[in-house]
A = this chain, B = another copy of it.
Amino acid sequence: MILSAMLRVKMAWARPTGPRHEVVLSSRLRLARNLRAHPFPPRAPAEELKAALKAVFKASAAAKSLESAARLELCEVSEVDREFLVERRLASRLLISEPAHRGVVVGEREVLSIMVNEEDHLRLQGIDSGLCLEDLLGKVSALDDELAQTLDLAFHPELGFETACPTNVGTGLRASALVHLPGLALSGQVNGVLQSLGAAGLIARGHYGEGTKVLGDFYQVSNARSLGPSEEDLVSGVSKAVEELVRAESKARTELLRGLGKSRLEDMVFRSVGSLEHARLMTYEEAMQHLSAMRLGLSLGWELPADLTTVNELTVLSQPGHVQMLAGKELDAGDRDFLRATLLRGKLKS
C-alpha cells in the first residue's frame, strides 16, 4: 500500500541539509492554479470536479518533475489515511472534508506535490529542508511550466493567475517557513518578535497554519499577500524576514547559555530526553515539547541519543494519524498515548 510505504521513507525535508536548518525546520512554497475549462472547485458540480481531477492526474503523469509520483483519489483511501496526508502536509483539512473527486499527487520523497480540487483546481507545493524558498520557487515553477504544456490554466493579463479566493490572485504564491524558536520563547521575546513581522507583510501561525495551536515552539511564517510584487520579490521578502528571525533566535540561544542559564537549559533538555526514553504514556503535545527541547540541545552541539533527522521525523511520526497508521487501525486517545510512547522510546534507543 502506497501510504504505508510513505510511512517508511524519510521525507526530504526531515534531513537537516538545508541552510539554517538549526532554526528553520522546512520551507514550503505553493502556487495556486486553475483550469480555464472548469468552474472553481467550491462552485463546481461533481462532473466538473471529476473532469478536472482526471485532467490534472493525466498532466502530472506526463511531467518529468513528478516521475514515479503517487496519485491518490481521496475517496479511495481510509479516514486514517486521509488524516495521515494532512499530518504530512500533503493534504489540507479543507481537501479531506469532501473527499469525492479530490486527490493528491506526491512526488519523490515528498518534495513536490499537488492537491487537486481543494479551493483551486491545483495547488502545486514544494517542501524541503532549511531556508530554501528560492530553490523551491525554481522547482515548483518548473513543474508549473511542465503542467502548462498540457493544461489550459486560467490567467488574466492584468491580475495574473485567477484563484477562487481573492487573497491568492496574482502570483497565487505562498512562501512559508516552519521555524523553531525555543530560544526566543524561553527568553520571553517570541511574541514581540513575531508581531514585528507584520510590518514586513508577513504573518506567523501555529504548526498547521491558520487557527492552529503553537506546539513545541514551532511557528509557520508566510507572506500575507500574493498580488503586487513578482514571485521572486515575494520569496525574497519572506527569506529576508526569516533570516532576521534566525539571527534573533541564535542570539537568544547564546544568551540563554550564559551563567547559571546553562545548567537550567541542560536540565530542561536532558529531562526531556529522560521523558522520551522512559515514559509509557505520552500525548502528542507533550512529545512536541520534548522534541523541541531535544532540537534545541542538538543545535547547541550537545550529544543526545538521537540526531536531528530522527527528531524532525518524530515531530511528524508522533501525530495521532501517524500513530494510528503504525497500529494499522483507529485507536482511542489512551492507546495512542501508549503506542506513541513506545515508538519514541524505540527511536531514542536504536
Interface check A270, CB cutoff 8 A: yes
Establish whether residues A280 and B266, one from each chain, have CB atoms under 8 Å apart when the complex forms: yes
Chain A binding surface SS class: helix
Establish whether residues B274 and A280, one from each chain, have CB atoms under 8 Å apart when the complex forms: no
Establish whether residues B278 and A270, one from each chain, have CB atoms under 8 Å apart when the complex forms: yes
- Residues in B with CB closer than 8 Å to A267 are 279-281, 341
Interface check A328, CB cutoff 8 A: no
Interface check A48, CB cutoff 8 A: no
- Residues in B with CB closer than 8 Å to A49 are none
Interface check A263, CB cutoff 8 A: yes
Q: How far is the CB of A146 from chain B (nearest CB, A)?
A: 51
Q: Give the A interface residue count (CB, 8 A).
A: 19
- Residues in B with CB closer than 8 Å to A280 are 263-264, 266-267, 270
Interface string of A320-335 (1 = CB under 8 A from B): 0000000000000010
Complex CA distance for A281 and B280, rounded to whole angstroms:
23
Q: How far is the CB of A279 from chain B (nearest CB, A)?
A: 5
Interface check A73, CB cutoff 8 A: no
Q: How far is the CB of A296 from chain B (nearest CB, A)?
A: 14
A/B interface sample: 20 pairs, CB < 8 A? A263-B281, A263-B338, A267-B279, A267-B280, A267-B341, A270-B278, A270-B279, A270-B280, A271-B275, A271-B278, A273-B274, A273-B278, A274-B274, A274-B275, A274-B277, A274-B278, A274-B279, A275-B275, A277-B277, A277-B278
Which chain B residue lies CB-closest to A266?
B280
Taking CB atoms and an 8 Å cut-off, the chain A residues in 157-190 that contact chain B are: none
Q: How far is the CB of A201 from chain B (nearest CB, A)?
A: 42
Q: Which of B260, B271, B277, B278 contacts A279 (CB 8 A)?
A: B271
Q: How far is the CB of A112 from chain B (nearest CB, A)?
A: 40
Interface string of A248-267 (1 = CB under 8 A from B): 00000000000010011011
- Residues in B with CB closer than 8 Å to A281 are 263-264, 267
Copies per complex? 2
Q: How far is the CB of A165 from chain B (nearest CB, A)?
A: 45
Establish whether residues B260 and A334, one from each chain, have CB atoms under 8 Å apart when the complex forms: yes
Complex CA distance for A260 and B337, rounded to whole angstroms:
12
Complex CA distance for A122 and B276, rounded to whole angstroms:
52
Which chain B residue lies CB-closest to A275?
B274
Q: Most B CB atoms within 10 A — which of A264, A267, A277?
A: A267
Q: How far is the CB of A268 from chain B (nearest CB, A)?
A: 8
Interface string of A295-311 (1 = CB under 8 A from B): 00000000000000000
Complex CA distance for A281 and B269, rounded to whole angstroms:
12
Complex CA distance for A267 and B345, rounded to whole angstroms:
12
Complex CA distance for A345 and B146, rounded to whole angstroms:
59
Which chain B residue lies CB-closest to A345?
B270
- Residues in B with CB closer than 8 Å to A341 are 267
Complex CA distance for A280 and B261, rounded to whole angstroms:
12
Complex CA distance for A199 and B255, rounded to whole angstroms:
60
- Residues in B with CB closer than 8 Å to A263 are 280-281, 334, 338
Q: How far is the CB of A137 from chain B (nearest CB, A)?
A: 43
- Residues in B with CB closer than 8 Å to A271 are 274-275, 278-279
- Residues in B with CB closer than 8 Å to A276 are 274
Shortest beta-carbon contacts, A-B, top 4: A274-B274, A274-B278, A267-B280, A270-B278
